[in-house]
Structure 1
Amino acid sequence: MTIPGLTRRSMLTAALLVAAGAQAQGFEERTIRMGHPVNADHPISIGTRKFAEIVSERSGGKLKVREYPALQLGNEMQQLSALAGGVQEMFAPGTAPVATMVKEFGLLDLPFLVSTPAQADALLDGPFGQALLAKLPEKGLVGLAFWENGFRHVSNSKRPIRRLEDLDGLKIRVQQNPVFIDTFKALRTNPVPMSFAELYGALESKALDAQENPYLITRTAKLYEAQKYLSATGHAYGVIVVLVSKKFWDKLSAQEQQLLRAAALEARDRERQESRQQARKAVEELKAAGMQFNEVSEPERERMRLATRPVVERVLQTYDPAVVRLLRSELERVSGLQ
């Protein structure tokens, strides 16, 4: 039946308005503050903006995500505390600060855990990653997705790292993390735990010979100005955990929760793609800036992995055996992915 005076065009407009209204049901006007530790040109920031775009579009503009890069809302521990207390809505940190609240996240810092992006994705997006996320709510956090900070590689001012022996004696800055300290002792270096803020000055003054970071960090922090050699060791894989305050999460409708989960996963794929593209570009830019770049052969990476195996086994003994069994089985499952 056609209603008199209602044209086909106005009927279509009315139908679209009804559809839009139905889509917006279940959403309230909310502003979500989302912090992260890096600058606004980093893939994590690009992922955050993609997340915000999806959330706004699919909530009819009712849910707004406001980005706070470069630890503007406080350091990692301050922002995690703010999430747990319900003072801040979202944060996307690395695994090290999360591991201070949920110990099992420290397993992701183990050396040579994965060797390709495909292996990392399969491990994090599969049963092991889900088991880690399931431990967060009891600490006042909800985990939506794992994003990427990238593989870590060694740079130094002395020589190319082609063999395990080339690491001998290098005075290298490492994160203030016991696993990293023990890893680089096993790799025959002299590890110096130090905050990132102090790193450039220590390299420039020659107080340190070396450092280890993803390519993007080496480029954006201009560490190439104090380092000549960049070697693709790939000794660790950096993970970002997209977190929501559980106190905030519990106030959301089912539709809002579903949207945030879906958006975090869609943005994850965009963030990982951008991270890998920027890493490749960063290598070329670092070479253009004068760094000498070399790949480490698979046999030599295997020697490095074997050198750090005692560290891994010692650390694993400090965790719940059921979690360790799951990790081992999942590593076996993903090991063939290239």
Structure 2
Amino acid sequence: MIKTIKTHLKPLLAACMAMGLTTAAAQTHTLRLGHGIAQEHPLGQGALRFAEILEKNSGGKLAMKVFPATQLGSEGQMIGAVRGGVQDLVITSTAPVATQIKEYLLFDLPFLLETDAEADALLDGPIGQKLLDLAESREMVGLCYWENGFRQVTNSKREVKSLEDLSGLKLRTMQNPVYIDAFKALGANAIPMPFTELYTAMETRAIDAQENPVAIIHSNKFYEVQKYLTLTNHAYAPYVVLMSRKTWNKLGEDEQKAMKQSCQEARDYQRALSRDMTAELLELLKKEGLTLSTLSPSETQRLREQIQPIIGKYTNEIGPELVEQAQRQLQQMRASSGGKS
């Protein structure tokens, strides 16, 4: 009798186990995250870590599939897909977001930020949160900011150590009005161009110069077509992690909390990796043949003075109150740290 019961129970138990596995699989919500950078870049590594952390923090309820290197389209295309609910998440530089939310131009103001600590304080504080909240007006949820880094100038013509050395250089900028106007004011021939066309344009000498953070310069092998690198630190470039509001609204409260917490944990990892790699990559770029230069404090001040009209112009567009709030916070930081924030 017992043997007969066991015989009948076996298929029942097997069916229950299969049902349990199916239910568990159904409870896992897989999200699609896209970004535009190579996987070996700090952003690419941070995105993979984000996926690991999210699965752990959500207790396995949320998984994430990462699509690097513009596999899902350009940054602008991915932002549009996230707004439409076709794509769940995008990690993008803030510049294309500024075409839809003008306040994001704040991050493009030249020489606004001087140190990593200042960047972290501004992005992770009330001002950064205010801009994240504005994403809701575009059917997105702003989760947190990651790091692209301070932007530097490379060129194939000459060593840039003064304001005059920039004069006449055909310099590619992002398709962003602040960058275009700023480099025109500095005497360069600013040429807006999609990033995907940049390497070929430098290789064919259609342009002489470009500006990007060190990790971008290295990972895209710009040293093959450029000869000089100048550490201008003319702007700090953040990434922003944006989620489709349509996807967000499908999540439970605990899952939403896990999303934000995981974004912040991955942010801390990604920023640390970016800063560690930047120091290492500068040495590698020198070994690859790039001549490395820095601007003296007096030359940096000359550049600052030259672009003041541009800062004034875009302050009015961004909103004077927001810009003044950011500048006031940074001035307080510098004062409290003796000018070394």
Distance 1:319 1:174 in 2: 20
Shift of 1:221: 1.7
What CA deviation, in whole Å up to 9, does each residue of 1:80-120 have, x standing for no partner? 12212222211111112211221111111111111111111
1:24-173 correspondence to structure 2 within 5 Å: 28-173=27-172
SS of the residue aligned with 2:215? helix
Shift of 1:187: 1.0
Contact 1:122 1:334 in 2 (8 A): no
1:1-338 correspondence to structure 2 within 5 Å: 28-335=27-334, 336-338=339-341
Distance 2:319 2:179 in 1: 21
What CA deviation, in whole Å up to 9, does each residue of 1:101-155 have, x standing for no partner? 2111111111111111111111111111011111111211111110011111111
Q: Percent identity?
A: 47
Contact 2:227 2:291 in 1 (8 A): yes
Contact 1:128 1:330 in 2 (8 A): no
Shift of 1:161: 1.5
* Partner in structure 2 of residue 13 of structure 1: none
Contact 2:105 2:318 in 1 (8 A): no
Shift of 1:169: 1.6
Count of residues paired in the alignment: 313
Structure 2: gaps spanning 5 or more residues = 1-25
Distance 1:202 1:235 in 2: 23
Amino acid in the other structure paired with 2:161 = R
69-78 vs 108-117, which moves further: 69-78
Contact 1:95 1:241 in 2 (8 A): yes
Shift of 1:159: 2.0
SS of the residue aligned with 2:30? strand
SS of the residue aligned with 1:244? strand
Distance 1:99 1:125 in 2: 18
| TM score, norm. by length of structure 1 | 0.88
Contact 1:123 1:334 in 2 (8 A): no
228-237 vs 204-213, which moves further: 204-213
| TM score, norm. by length of structure 2 | 0.88
CA RMSD of aligned residues (A): 1.7
Contact 1:151 1:235 in 2 (8 A): yes
Structure 1: gaps spanning 5 or more residues = 1-26
SS of the residue aligned with 1:231? strand
Say which structure is richer in helix: 2
What CA deviation, in whole Å up to 9, does each residue of 1:183-241 have, x standing for no partner? 00111111111222222222222222211111112112221122111110011111100
Distance 2:107 2:178 in 1: 10
